[in-house]
A and B are shown apart, each in its own frame.
Chain A
Amino acid sequence: MNKASEFIILGIITVVVAIAPVMPVIHISAFITRFLIGVMIYAIMAEGWNVIGGYTGYPSFGNVVFFGLGAYVTALSMIDFHIGFLISLILAAFAGALFAVIIGIPVLRLKGHYFAIATLGIGETMMAITLNVPFTGEGVGLSLPIASSSLLFYYTSLIALAAFIIFLKLILSGRLGYGIIAVREDEDAARMMGINTVIVKIKAFAISGFFTAIAGGIYAYWSTFIDPPTVYDPIISVKMIIMAVFGGAGTILGPVVGAFIIMFLSDFLSTHFTLLHTFFFGGLIVLTAIFLPKGLIDLFSQKKIGWNYFIKNIKKYRV
């Protein structure tokens, strides 16, 4: 990354960090607060996908399973056990991590497309199971108590996102981070170098599950109603993937940038150009996969941006 863009990005971060906590207090509008909560929840999920899909190189197509699990654990612990929101959220996070370990042990043995489809299947299976076990309210769904203020969600998601980014930054400069990237670059070589690749992959998946479940928990209390088709919707998996890839998979800030831009465009189109919004997600995914597979962060760290950058990918991979 060159000096100028690094400087710009640092500047933007400083401004965001300074403004974000006081945003709701200076009171812009309920609409914007709501929008920002949505952005942050998706940013957490995109970042969660980024850990396993971007950094570790295991593209999960079923990360929504942690979102749904987090939502259900939070809801059940608040409704059935009358536990407070924040403690329920922590329970949900650990449930997400534990579930990632349990499914990770068999599934992370699979490579490439087999892993992708197995995770897709697990997402669908969890939806089917949740629809059929009695204590989850089955197909009817669950209603949560209504929170007194939306500021709670704003600050919870802000803190969770900030904690995730700092945590990831720390992890990546440590032993585990190097292990994770080594697995992505060449798993066999990593094993030869003495890295326990199984443990590394499971840890990465657990981190992904931990934070994605938090996002699910915040969403559940925020929306006050959850049912299996909503919180296990495969489209949610797709959204996290495209946000991470569009912003820049394998970079810390990429998924956050992707989440913000995509949520903004999606909101804008759905209010002003309804017909265009129909083509938005599908079209964006197709265009990103062909012209921008490395994401915006990579684009802006180029010295010179020209048409050549966009067709470089095609030139390399077409038949």
Chain B
Amino acid sequence: MFEFQVIINGLLLGGLYALMAIGMSLIWGVTNVINLAHGALIMLGAYTTFWLFKLLNIDPFVSLAISFTTLFVFGFLVQKYIINFVIRAKMFITLLLTFGLDILITNVAQTAWTSNFRQTSPAYSANGFSFGFITVPYVRLSAFIISIILVFALYIFLKKTKTGQAIRAVSQDIDAARLMGINVAKTFALTFAIGSGLAGVAGSMIGVLMPITPQMGGIFTLKSFVVALVGGLGTIFGPLVGGLFLGLAETLGSFHLGAKYADIIVFGILVLTLIVKPTGILGKNDE
């Protein structure tokens, strides 16, 4: 029955991946910026929770809200005062810009906090419950549930609220949205802020599950991209589908082939998806 446990692990990991990718998918879908600093934002979220826990003894699940708010404000400022300046330039320029931001944030974090491995470790971090052969760790299950809640919250936000509708309008046609009286610059900044905030939440959860360093971002940027892409760009439930798919593929793959092949599987999926169906699982099939 190992196989069943592996599948459970894969699904739980998939929930975490979905949580990571929601923000990237939203920013990409609305502003057409592939945020290569996404992993760095996740890292900032992880450190926010870590320091709050270490210095003030605030429970990681309580600090989720603080982590979200901090990164929300940070993301708003980054988009408003940096990315918005060149957002209509060629794709390459925004890619280069966010890559620069990634290096900048990582290096500053490294100078401020050193490269030591750290982990947010509340007393319950290793606990879990089991039935039969299956063990389910509490923290991973919580991350999974939070991820699903956030996907649905985002869905309702985008469909029902005025701001959400403005964001969707801008993502469809900037000029038409502007004619309807929408402040495009502010909407972009808000979108980036929400995406960053979600990255912050993902980072907080990751900090409880695995050791963190300032350099951890790179791999998460790539994985978030793979998840957003595989799930289908511009679809709200894409990250969830993509996350579960990638989590399962990675866990099953490393169970059968060996853990060192995990990264090869991820990037194999990336390259194959790009070549075979760049619009992703839920995406429409037109060019």
Contacts and interface: CB of A to CB of B under 8 A. Distances in A.
A121 B270 contact: yes
Given A279-B108, A317-B86, A317-B89, A241 B267 contact: no
Contacts of A112: 91-92
A314 B83 CA distance: 10
A62 to B, nearest CB: 10
Contacts of A118: 270-271, 274-275
A116 interface: yes
Contact of B85 (A110, A285, A290): A290
Interface string B97-116: 10111111111101100000
Contact of B267 (A121, A282, A286, A316): A121
A285 B275 contact: no
B37 to A, nearest CB: 10
Interface in A126-141: 128-129, 131-132
B173 to A, nearest CB: 13
A150 interface: no
A289 B267 contact: no
Contact of B92 (A59, A238, A281, A285): A59
A24 interface: no
A109 interface: yes
Contact of A245 (B96, B104, B106, B229): B96
Interface string A280-319: 0111111011100100000000000000000001101111
Nearest to B111: A278
Nearest to B97: A289
A59 B111 CA distance: 30
Given A293-B93, A319-B174, A117 B85 contact: no
A258 B83 CA distance: 24
A241 B103 CA distance: 14
A110 B274 contact: yes
A183 B94 CA distance: 21
Contacts of A275: 111
A122 B271 contact: yes
Interface residues of B, number: 47
Nearest to B188: A319
A131 B260 contact: yes
Contacts of B91: 112-113, 116
Interface string B226-248: 10010000000000000000000
B270 A117 contact: yes
A124 B267 contact: yes
A54 to B, nearest CB: 10
B275 A109 contact: yes
Contacts of B261: 128, 132
B88 A317 contact: yes
Given A283-B104, A319-B188, A110 B278 contact: yes
Chain A CB within 10 Å — which of B84, B85, B101, B185 has the most? B85
Contacts of B84: 318-319
A286 B83 CA distance: 9
Contact of A285 (B34, B88, B96, B270): B96
B103 A281 contact: yes
Given A278-B107, A279-B107, A289 B174 contact: no
Given A128-B264, A286-B101, 17 more contacts: A106-B271, A110-B274, A110-B275, A120-B222, A129-B264, A245-B96, A275-B111, A284-B100, A289-B93, A290-B85, A314-B85, A316-B89, A317-B85, A317-B89, A317-B93, A318-B85, A318-B86
Nearest first, the 9 closest Cβ-Cβ pairs linking A and B are: A282-B104, A285-B100, A282-B103, A289-B97, A317-B89, A286-B100, A125-B267, A317-B88, A121-B270
